[in-house]
Structure formats: structure tokens, C-alpha cells
Amino acid sequence: MKRLAKLLSILSLGLVLLLSFQACGKPKYNKDRYVLKMSTSKGDMLIELYNETPQHRDNFIKLVKEKYYDGTAFHRVISGFMAQAGDPNTRNWQKGQPYGQGGADYTIPAEINAELFHRKGALAAARMGDEVNPERASSGSQFYISQGRVYNPEELKQLTTNLSEGRKMRDANVKATKYYMENVVNNPNFPKEKVQAHMDSVMQSYVATEVGYTFSPAQLEAYTKEGGIPHLDGEYTVFGQVIDGLDVVDSLCNVETGEADLPVEKLEIKSITIVNTPKGMK
């Protein structure tokens, strides 16, 4: 009986250890968020979508349910930067063929949130540049996953200075251009000799009063430990995060590429499936 009891005790302990090991091996995720599994030719990733960006979240879920991305490929990858996808034309992949012009025929209003930033594994929406898209509206289907790199505190300090000055001047130009469009182009009676003086005044006032860019403690910690793409913060909508499979992000970003950062091999998105649906969501 003692031998039997001892054997049962050993078996019970083994079962507990096995279950504990399995539990530890499963990535934890927020059950109040959509969680997706993206299966690629380089491996699988689990991705959480942020509720703080509802329009981007809902659009991505809609496309996933339509299997919009299944069979497509990452068409632009840069080591130490990011991997971009979302062009449906990549289903019929041809080596050396230029991609990146295809996508959904609509845009999504920007949902840029200072608390959602470009740490390694961030899922963000691609978009057209500021010169044609000053509102920073997102592509309806194209997205990228950040890889980036680790920064030291001095690099981030210098980047803060550069971003502050650069963005203040850029945004001042945007405001001056908007002023010109509203008061000159749309108002033929506006005195032309006063145009430049007014635009200069608008720019100088903005530069003098606008607060410079700073990184939050959370950003500083992430970029000095995990890495990412800090200079894109505030420029693009981040709407999700890879919570398991960062090694896959590295595998995607570090492949051989040709002209226009096009991968030599097809980096296929085999499928994207929903792993968790929050309560109250369909």
C-alpha cells in the first residue's frame, strides 16, 4: 500500500508539473481585447488589437473575417526598421515585381494616441505622406509591424531635440499653407501684398508657442530595453501589438531584399484568425 501511495504521489506531482509547464508556455493576453493569430511563412505571431483605436480595430477585424490578408505577402521589409503588408496584389507574387500600390479604396481617420507607440512588435497603419495627407489618415488595408532597434538614453535625448524642432517647423508650414488656402485661394479679395507677412506671422506664432516633443517614461523604458522606432511616434496610428512571436518579426525583417526593399522570397501571410473576441463584440 505504501508503494502504491508513493507511486500515486509521484504521478500526481508529475501531472501538476506538466500542467504548470503548459500554463507557463501559453502567452497571456488581455481578454478584453481582440487577439489574432497571424501565421506566416516565417512562423506564427499573436497580436492584440487596442480598444483605444476602435476604427482601426474594427476595420482590421472586418478584413480578417473576409480573409482579405490570407495568401498575401509582406512587400516591403527593412532590417532594423519594419515589415509592411496589406497589398492584395501580392497574392500572385512574382519575384522582382513592384508592389505596394494596391489596397482598400478608402482611408481611416487617424487615431494617434501618445500612449500607443512604436515599441518592437507594434502593429501600425501605413499611410500617404503629409504633403498629400496632412490629416495623417491611414490606409484602409496596408499595415506594418515594427522591429526597430534598441537606443541608449543619449540617443533618445538627441532625437527628442531633433523631433521637436523638425516637427514644429513642419507643422507650422502646414498651418501656414492651410491659412493660405482658406484666406487667399478661397478669397479673391484678400490683399495679395499682405499674404507673405500673414503666413510668416502664423508660422512664427506657432513655433514660439508650441511645446516641444518629449518621450514618456514608458517610451524611454521600452526603447532602451526592447527597442522600436521612436521617430514614428505621433506620426502614424499604432493599433496593436505582437504579444508572442517577436522572433518571427526579426525573421521577417532580416531577409534578403532587392529594389524598393522588396523581399527576394515571398513572405506569405498564410492566414490571420481570431483567437479571442472580447465580451460584447461579435
75's CB contacts (< 8 A; 6+ apart) are 84, 85, 87, 90, 99, 100, 262, 263
pLDDT at 26: 65
By DSSP bridging, strand 73-74 and strand 267-276 are antiparallel
Task: Give the range among 3-12, 134-143, 245-254 with minimum mean pLDDT.
Answer: 3-12
Looking at the fold, whether 172 and 270 belong to one and the same domain comes out as: no
CA torsion 219-225-228-233 (nearest 10°) is 10
Query: What's the pTM value of the predicted model, to 2 decimals?
Result: 0.81
In a domain, 12, yes or no: no
Q: Which domain holds residue 249?
A: 35-150+226-276
In a domain, 241, yes or no: yes
In a domain, 214, yes or no: no
pLDDT at 213: 79
pLDDT at 8: 47
For the chain, percent of residues with pLDDT exceeding 70: 77
Q: How confident is the model at residue 204 (pLDDT cuts 50, 70, 90)?
A: low
Nearest to 271 by CA among 29, 66, 20: 66
Looking at the fold, whether 169 and 248 belong to one and the same domain comes out as: no
For the chain, percent of residues with pLDDT exceeding 90: 66
Looking at the fold, whether 90 and 44 belong to one and the same domain comes out as: yes
> SS3 of 95, please?
coil
Looking at the fold, whether 137 and 186 belong to one and the same domain comes out as: no
What string of DSSP letters covers 126-153? ----TTT-TT-PEESS-EEEE--B---H
Residue 245 to residue 180: CA distance in whole angstroms: 48
- Tell me the CATH number at 243: 2.40.100.10
Q: What is the pLDDT of residues 20-75, one digit of tens each?
A: 544 455 677 789 999 999 999 999 999 999 999 999 999 999 999 999 999 999 99
Q: What is the pLDDT of residues 144-191, one digit of tens each?
A: 999 999 999 999 999 998 887 767 666 666 666 666 667 666 777 777
In a domain, 14, yes or no: no
> SS3 of 27, please?
coil
In a domain, 142, yes or no: yes
Q: What is the pLDDT of residues 83-138, one digit of tens each?
A: 999 999 999 999 889 999 999 999 999 999 999 999 999 999 999 998 899 899 99
Looking at the fold, whether 76 and 181 belong to one and the same domain comes out as: no
Looking at the fold, whether 51 and 173 belong to one and the same domain comes out as: no
In a domain, 40, yes or no: yes
Say how many domains are in the chain: 2
